[in-house]
Amino acid sequence: MLKTLYRILPWTILSLSFVILAFYYHAIPDEVLIAKNLGGSNPTFAPKSLFTVFRVPLIEIVCASIIELMRRRFANLNSETHQNYYSMWSILLYTVAFKSLFQIFEIVSSKQFTNIFFYLTFGVVIAGIILALLKGRKVFSAFNREDWSFRLVEKLALAILFALYLGLAFVPMFMFG
């Protein structure tokens, strides 16, 4: 039961991002922030549409799908190295889920709170990457590289998901930037 909850929880958090945006859709301003740097200068805005509003959770669903593919690749193997590999990707999956949630709060919150959620998002990403690296540090040094091969279907799925990510993440910045 706990293992099932552990697998479902990040996807539930990601789904919550869509629910929150749908609930607050009419309250979102006519221009939506689509890119911002760490200093907060030169933000890029786009006209409000279903795409620009739901773009962030769509990107995170794609990222989470890539992570899930990587995580499941060695899920059934019982060695300690494979468990660390699975845990490392699980940490990244939770990182993506909370990143999405905080970015959604940034979109729907009033202007006085947007920077708080921006830096919380940044903090979650940094903490998640550090935790994943700490958990996975033995993985990359002790992993049997022959196990790193993926089936053609997995490679194709990863390529498609990566192309989707690039399209969702970067094309709008060129269109509206």
Give the H/E segment covering residue 30.
none
pLDDT tens digits, residue range 97-122?
999 999 999 889 887 888 899 899 99
pLDDT tens digits, residue range 10-43?
999 999 999 999 999 999 989 888 877 766 567 7
pTM: 0.86
Sign of CA dihedral 126, 128, 130, 133: negative
Beta strands in 40-110 (DSSP E): 44-47
Distance CA 145, CA 45 (A): 44
User: Residue 1 in 3-state DSSP?
Assistant: coil
Distance CA 34, CA 43 (A): 8
